[in-house]
Amino acid sequence: MAVLTGAGISAESGVPTFRGKGGLWRSYRSQDLATPEAFAANPSLVWEFYNWRRSLIAVVDCNPAHRALAQLETKVPHFTLISQNVDGLHLRAGSKNLLEIHGNIWKVRCTKCGSITANYTPDLGTSPHCHRCAGLLRPHVVWFGESLDYKLLQSAFDASRTCDVMLVIGTSAVVQPSASFPVEAKSRGAMVAEINLEPTPLSSLADMTIPGKVGDIVPRLVENWS
Ligand code: BV8
Ligand code: ZN
């Protein structure tokens, strides 16, 4: 089994999604913030945005849908969770075989020496520097126009190509390459089920679309998983 999650699974924890009402990109324009160009042009503005999100995420917790997926992992022989989310809530729920393909907002990476460290202080100020080389730190997340970590991408495609079932949970299925994982799964004969409040570009391809809130549907699905 492979599972792909997006911002919708964290919405019920209180983490704003990107494209929904009140979504992050609504109040901010993604190209102004989540791109290497934006960071090069105005690192403190980008840090303001990430410090704001870190402070938001620091006070929320994983929800029954995150915890149900951690439980489901123990019920199936081969399970891979591919998440587009950077909030770390799947880790907090206990998921083990997790691919955080867009990185993790609690990790920072030095733009000079490349060292990656976890740092849970919500507000890192608008120009945090590396303890080792004094280089400027950046969030260890994948911005638009940046390629994903090769190994993570390979593992995500492998899981998508070999699974029998793929659950696609709370994603608008517009961001690439993530939106291609269900297509890969389907092309290899997997059963693809989508759980979302509303239809997405993936809905016509999915074998099953289950409309509704992830917090209601995912725990019930896992409870009944024999
Ligand atoms: C790449 C980390 C290429 C940062 C994110 C033009 C210019 C430049 C690039 C492109 C371009 N056109 C296309 C591209 C490629 C681009 C892309 O796909 N753009 C899209 C917007 C068209 N992709 C990239 O740039 C990727 N890299 O392609 O590299 C390359 C190749 C070789 C060499 C060099 C480069 C990198 C993409 C990663 C971007 N980073 N996040 C951060 O978080 O700050 S993406 C960001 O969007 C988040 O990760 C988020 O998870 C992700 C996807 O959004 P969703 O998760 O789907 O969230 P969304 O709000 O959209 O939807 C929520 C869904 O949940 C909705 O459907 C809603 O109905 C549902 N929902 C809500 N609540 C509930 C619910 N469902 C059920 N119950 C609920 N309660
Ligand atoms: Zn450094």
What is the secondary structure of 32-48 as a DSSP string? HHSSHHHHHH-HHHHHH
Mutate to test the pocket of ligand 1, among 12, 13, 17, 183 (most ligand atoms within 8 A of CB): 17
Tens of pLDDT, residues 90-111: 999 999 999 999 999 999 999 9
> How far away, in angstroms, is 184 Cα from ligand 1 center?
18
What is the Å distance from ligand 1's center to 174 Cα?
A: 6
Q: What is the mean pLDDT of residues 189-218?
A: 97
Q: How far apart are the first and last CA of the chain?
A: 14
Q: Domain segments of the chain: what residues?
A: 2-223
Whether 18 lines ligand 1, by a CB cut-off of 6 Å, is yes
Distance between CA atoms of residues 127 and 63, nearest Å: 32
Instruction: Please check whether residue 203 is in contact with residue 209, taking contact to mean a CB–CB distance below 8 angstroms.
Output: yes
- How far, in Å, are 3, 192, 204 from residue 201 at the CA level? 17, 13, 7
Tokens of 202: 């993936």
pLDDT band at 156 (very low <50, low <70, confident <90, very high): very high
Average pLDDT (196-204) is: 97
Atom of ligand 1 nearest to the CA of 214: 78
Given this model, what pLDDT does residue 121 score? 97
Ligand 1 binding pocket mutation candidate from 144, 171, 180, 213 (most atoms within 8 A of CB)? 144
Flag whether pLDDT at 31 surpasses 60.
no
Across 186-211, average pLDDT? 98
User: For residue 51, is pLDDT > 80?
Assistant: yes
Angle between helices 64-75 and 214-223 in degrees, nearest 10? 20
pLDDT interval class at 209 (50, 70, 90): very high
For residue 145, the ligand 1 atom closest to its alpha carbon is 25
Mean pLDDT of the chain: 94
Exposure of 206 in the CB half-sphere (CA atoms within 13 A): 21
| CATH top class, domain 2-223 | alpha beta
Cα of 7 from ligand 1 centre, angstroms: 9
Give the global pTM.
0.95
Catalytic: 131? no
Report how far ligand 2's centroid is from the alpha carbon of 108 (Å).
10
Residue 214 C-alpha from the chain's centroid: 15
Mean pLDDT of 107-119: 97
Single-letter residue type at 200: T
